[in-house]
Amino acid sequence: MRPTILNPLFAEVTALKGVGPALVRQLARLKLARVVDLAFHLPAMVVERVAVDRVDESLVGRPISVVLTPVRHDSGGPRSPLRVRATDAGGQWLDLVFFGQSGAWARSKLPLHQPRRITGKLDRYGQSLQISHPDIAAPGDPPAGALREPVYPLTEGLPNKRLATLVGEALARLPDLPEWIEPSVLARHDWPGWRAALLAAHALEGEVPAKDRLAYDELLANQLALLLVRRDTRARKGRALPGDGRLTATLQKTLPFALTGAQARTIAEIQGDMAQASPMLRLLQGDVGAGKTLVALFAMLTAVESGAQAALLAPTEILARQHLATLTKVAAGLPIRIAALTGRDRKAGGAKQRNDLLDDLAMGRIDILIGTHAIFQEDVVYHDLGLVVVDEQHRFGVAQRLLLTEKARVPPHLLAMTATPIPRSLQLTNFGEMDASRLDELPPGRTPVETRVMAIDRLEEVVAALARHLAGGGQAYWVCPLVEGSEDGDEAAAAFRAAMLKGAFAGLTASGEPVGVGLVHGRMKPAEKDAAMADFAAARTGLLVATTVIEVGVDVPNATLMIVEAAERFGLAQLHQLRGRVGRGSQRSVCLLLRGGELSETAKARLKLMRETNDGFRIAEEDLRLRGAGEILGTRQSGEAAFRFADPERTARLVAMAHDDARLLLDRDGGLASARGAAARNLLYLFERDAGVALLRSG
Ligand code: ADP
Ligand code: MG
């Protein structure tokens, strides 16, 4: 249960003065539901006012605070605003302008010849200077407090002042929490206490150390939670799957190529883990085309050799089908049964088939099951699941990872694979509970993909070049961007492009046959998607027009040209993934990035980076800097715990430290029972990593 000291923070916003249903709705749009949300809602910037004695032209456009004396009221009319002319100490005049206020109001608030402190933004209107809707205070009021005003991220109908007041009330309820950071760490960085840090971050005074501290707090909470998950998993008794080499040795002999050094090393690391009783938790990172699938197969065969079953979880149906095809072919000579189960099997009237498959699975007649999340549905029962492999891990969060392991009687070994090179800082924050292996070597004989950038107004040239490519027997992808907020839009954009290109290539080949143009997008029926992919893989179509559904894992070596439309709308990591679809054979491949007409400097810099490098890690670092972790990990919409204070830059600086400190704390005080341990429990609750605390209790 949450420590009572935190209760005031986790109260609903309605606990604050004057917060009714209308305001609750507005706050909800900003995801501010509880007092703690308000306290953590940091200002986007601060408006700085200049306190002056005299007003002059040079101050136009700036917020100022000045003592003025009203000299004339002009109450306006139905179409013109109320104007109060006022002069400064030197006799320079300007107008204070109010819409929707009466003369009576002006006479009471701004009586003639009585100085007032006026604060607001100085504008020019025609020949005269004016301030609209200024703050009015007594002349003796010091301007100091009002000189720096935090500006909060707002929503329609909720003025900054109102929100600032609410935030102020939330901050007034901040409890004094016992310190969870080691005193030496605090001293070394000159960090304030938690409460002081939060206040400073809102006041935007000394906010750099304050925000660093808050980010560190958040990262520390996250690291503690991940380490608790890790410790809990490790402590559970799993099953050693040492293998005996009878399947893997045969496979190695029949492979048409030798394993790369990196593959051999990684397989050994995985087998080392699987030979232990404590469940493996390993993340395998390897750039696109590095040969992760084969590594997974070796791991799965090792499980099968040991009498267990293995499951391979793919992020899309297309990939699941492709894995089935590839693995069935590679493992053709082995005495094992591989099957696939996807969400559609049920719908496609394959109920009988599906039931048979489930029977076989439950009886242990299937050794390796491949599929989408369907392979973990309730009615899917394994005979003896020993290993779970997750392909393209970045689509799955920590919580999902934990769920996966519930299908087995004893906790299974877990191997997660990702083609997204993950910068170390992100690896720690998102996969901190796992060990990591890197496939840092591509199979031999690959030629690096050449990347070019072209403006979309050269579309005709592009189509002509594409026509030559296709006429020469080459294959190509054409990727259309997702249309923001509208799947129908994606479909329409891709369908439109496909129709246009179909028209362009009718009657193109030497034999007079038109070049086939395939189409794949997210709204198609799975069977149609598969058919389109199969046609392309078998070269029955030369061109595949697609949305990003082909992003991960698709492998058609004869496709050597990738065209990405509106490339500036994609994340760098995503572009890198797309580019990885080509350059899979020995032929030279080209990736053509089509860009819109007007680009920001950042967008230009990003496309330039794509042209300059094929290094996935460099690209990922840059993407992290420019777009944040959610983009790289694909978790922006997935509900994975978001970070409130730990922005990418701070994360990069602080996460390793948070990781080490969390480890140290748990080494010394595994049950978080000491005074500092209790403080750390507060921290876990504060950042809603309480799943970690639950493990503490059960462990
Ligand atoms: P990814 O790491 O992107 O999942 P894949 O597993 O799809 O990569 O492998 C890409 C291609 O490389 C496949 O066609 C696969 O057969 C091939 N491949 C894998 N390992 C090797 C190797 N050691 N030598 C040559 N080709 C390999
Ligand atoms: Mg793959």
User: Whole-angstrom Cα distance, residue 542 to residue 559?
Assistant: 8
What is the 498 CA–ligand 2 centroid distance (Å)?
26
Amino acid occupying residue 259: L
Distances (CA, A) of 110 to 115, 125, 240, 685: 8, 21, 83, 50
CB 478 within 8 A of CB 610: no
H/E stretch holding 119 reads: strand 116-125
What is the 614 CA–ligand 1 centroid distance (Å)?
17
What CATH topology corresponds to 450-613? Rossmann fold (3.40.50)
| Residue 56 token pair | 């002059």
For ligand 1, is residue 263 a contact (CB within 6 Å)? yes
For ligand 1, is residue 555 a contact (CB within 6 Å)? yes
For ligand 1, is residue 290 a contact (CB within 6 Å)? yes
User: Whole-angstrom Cα distance, residue 397 to residue 216?
Assistant: 21
Atom number of ligand 1 nearest to Cα 555: 7
- For domain 46-151, give the CATH superfamily: Nucleic acid-binding proteins (2.40.50.140)
Instruction: Please count the CA atoms within 13 angstroms of the CA of 7 that sit on its side-chain side.
Output: 4
What is the 291 CA–ligand 1 centroid distance (Å)?
3
CB 97 within 8 A of CB 83: yes
Whole-structure pTM over 0.75, yes or no?
no
For ligand 1, is residue 440 a contact (CB within 6 Å)? no
The per-residue DSSP string of 386-440 comes to EEEEESSGGGS-HHHHHHHGGGSSSPPEEEEEESS---HHHHHHHHTTSEEEEE-
What is the 439 CA–ligand 2 centroid distance (Å)?
12
Nearest bound ligand to the CA of residue 315? 2
User: Whole-angstrom Cα distance, residue 344 to residue 524?
Assistant: 13
For ligand 1, is residue 257 a contact (CB within 6 Å)? yes
User: Whole-angstrom Cα distance, residue 175 to residue 480?
Assistant: 51
Chain centroid to Cα 400, Å, comes to 15
The per-residue DSSP string of 5-47 comes to GGTTTTSBGGGSTT--HHHHHHHHHTT--BHHHHHT---SEEE
Residue 121 main-chain phi, psi, to 5 deg: -85, 130
User: Whole-angstrom Cα distance, residue 117 to residue 137?
Assistant: 5
From 263, 265, 284, 294, mutation site for ligand 1 pocket: most ligand atoms within 8 A of C-beta: 294
Q: Look at residue 411 and tell me whether its pLDDT is greater than 60.
A: yes
266 CB contacts (<8 Å, ≥6 apart)?
284, 295, 437, 438, 439
Over pLDDT 90: what percentage of the chain? 47
What is the 379 CA–ligand 2 centroid distance (Å)?
28
* CATH code reported for the domain at 246-439: 3.40.50.300
CB 415 within 8 A of CB 431: no
| Residue 48 token pair | 């700085």
Atom number of ligand 1 nearest to Cα 260: 23
CA dihedral 536, 540, 544, 545 (to 10 degrees): -130
Strand 148-151 relative to strand 45-48: parallel, antiparallel, unpaired? Answer: antiparallel
What is the 269 CA–ligand 1 centroid distance (Å)?
19
- 303 vs 473, higher pLDDT: 303
What is the 518 CA–ligand 2 centroid distance (Å)?
22
Q: Look at residue 626 and tell me whether its pLDDT is greater than 90.
A: no
Over pLDDT 70: what percentage of the chain? 89
157: closest CA among 31, 23, 44? 23
CB 53 within 8 A of CB 88: yes
User: Whole-angstrom Cα distance, residue 551 to residue 567?
Assistant: 13
Strand 116-125 relative to strand 63-74: parallel, antiparallel, unpaired? Answer: antiparallel
Q: Over the stretch 518-533, which tens digit does the pLDDT of each residue have?
A: 988 877 887 888 888 8
Burial 589-606 (b: 16+ CB within 10 A, else e): bbbbbbbeeebeeebeeb
For ligand 1, is residue 259 a contact (CB within 6 Å)? yes
Q: Over the stretch 549-569, which tens digit does the pLDDT of each residue have?
A: 665 556 788 899 999 999 988
Q: Over the stretch 412-443, which tens digit does the pLDDT of each residue have?
A: 999 999 877 777 777 777 777 788 898 988 88
Task: For residue 150, list its beta bridge partners.
Answer: 46
478: closest CA among 557, 546, 575? 546
From 255, 257, 323, 587, mutation site for ligand 1 pocket: most ligand atoms within 8 A of C-beta: 257
Nearest bound ligand to the CA of residue 296? 1
For ligand 1, is residue 443 a contact (CB within 6 Å)? yes
Strand 543-546 relative to strand 63-74: parallel, antiparallel, unpaired? Answer: unpaired
Q: Over the stretch 639-673, which tens digit does the pLDDT of each residue have?
A: 344 678 888 778 888 989 999 999 999 999 989 99
- 343 vs 260, higher pLDDT: 260
94-108, 241-255, 278-292, 373-387 — most confident range: 241-255
Adjacency order of strands within the sheet including 435-439:
338-341, 368-371, 309-313, 385-390, 413-418, 281-286, 435-439
Task: For residue 286, list its beta bridge partners.
Answer: 439
**DSSP state letter for 185:** H
**Structural domain boundaries in the chain:** 46-151, 246-439, 450-613
Average pLDDT, the chain: 86
Nearest bound ligand to the CA of residue 293? 1
What's the angle, vertex CA 148, arms to CA 146 and CA 154, rounded to 5? 95
With bands split at pLDDT 50, 70 and 90, how would you rate the model's confidence at 635?
Answer: very low
Q: Over the stretch 202-232, which tens digit does the pLDDT of each residue have?
A: 988 888 899 999 999 999 998 998 888 888 8
What is the 268 CA–ligand 1 centroid distance (Å)?
18
User: Do 46-151 and 246-439 have matching folds?
Assistant: no
User: Whole-angstrom Cα distance, residue 212 to residue 116?
Assistant: 40
Nearest bound ligand to the CA of residue 318? 2
What is the 444 CA–ligand 1 centroid distance (Å)?
10
